[in-house]
């Protein structure tokens, strides 16, 4: 994707990534509440205004990469092939992401990704924001399912079950990473747990939202 971007867009992406990594380093060393935006700007060798050109708050800066994935479940359901159920589509996408060691499913041990996970656990403001991401993701998925099935209440039930399973799997992957396990060592067990979790959901939602 980076190769397809123009020079201006690549520079903006590089700056955003640098701000994020610098911020995570400072937050991890000193604590989220003890670091100011001005200090992040100075460490990244940019102006404070530049930081605010990219984000509105420190929470946005810390959790920006996570926020980019809020719409993933809804998008996967929306773009699934004819004949594929919502459960099957989300199962497929999740296991493919595990295979890619994608950070969005908790199977990536990049030091900054792991530090963000620890920061969320240690910082109430970030934990609240992370929970709000989950609620927004569920709303988007429920809206997608409701648009297809015409029943918004059952769509909310389905979205809650699907994302409940998905979030439980991600939380367990994060827990294991924070204890020092590696993605390679976790992979087979993570896939087996994902298959078992989506089997449970599928037994309850079998035949629901088949295109």
Where exactly are the structural domains of the chain? 2-55, 65-205
Q: Dump pLDDT digits (tens) for 27-63.
A: 999 999 999 999 999 999 999 999 999 999 999 999 9
d(CA 23, CA 51): 11
Q: Dump pLDDT digits (tens) for 134-182.
A: 999 999 999 999 999 999 999 999 999 999 999 999 999 999 999 999 9
How many angstroms from the chain centroid is the CA of residue 211? 26
The yes or no reply on domain 2-55 and CATH 1.10.10.60 is yes
Question: Which band of pLDDT confidence, cut at 50, 70 and 90, is reported for residue 4?
Answer: low
Single pTM value for the model: 0.87
Of residues 21, 27, 201, 4, the one with CA closest to residue 118? 27
Computed from CA positions of residues 115, 116, 117, 120, in that sequence, does the dihedral angle turn out positive or negative? Answer: positive
Question: What's the pLDDT score for residue 1?
Answer: 46
Question: What's the pLDDT score for residue 5?
Answer: 60
pLDDT at 118 over 80: yes
pLDDT at 3 over 60: no
């Amino acid at each position: 994707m980076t190769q397809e971007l123009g020079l201006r867009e690549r520079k903006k992406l590089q700056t955003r990534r640098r701000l994020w990594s610098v911020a995570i380093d400072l937050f991890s060393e000193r604590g989220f509440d003890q670091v100011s935006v001005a200090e992040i700007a100075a460490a990244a060798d940019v102006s404070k205004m530049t930081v605010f050109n990219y984000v509105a708050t420190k929470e946005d800066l810390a959790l920006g990469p996570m926020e980019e994935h809020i719409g993933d479940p809804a998008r996967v359901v929306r773009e699934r092939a004819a004949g594929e159920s919502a459960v099957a589509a989300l199962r497929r996408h999740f296991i493919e992401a595990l295979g890619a060691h994608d950070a969005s499913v908790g199977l990536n041990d990049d030091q900054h990704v792991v530090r963000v996970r620890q920061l969320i656990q240690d910082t109430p403001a970030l934990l609240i924001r992370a929970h709000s991401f989950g609620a927004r993701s569920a709303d988007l998925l429920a809206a997608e399912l409701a648009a297809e099935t015409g029943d918004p209440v059952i769509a909310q039930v389905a979205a809650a079950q699907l994302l409940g399973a998905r979030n439980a799997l991600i939380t367990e992957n994060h827990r294991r990473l924070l204890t020092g396990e590696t993605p390679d060592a976790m992979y087979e067990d993570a896939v087996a747990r994902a298959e078992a979790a989506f089997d449970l959901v599928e037994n309850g939602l079998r035949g629901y939202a088949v295109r």
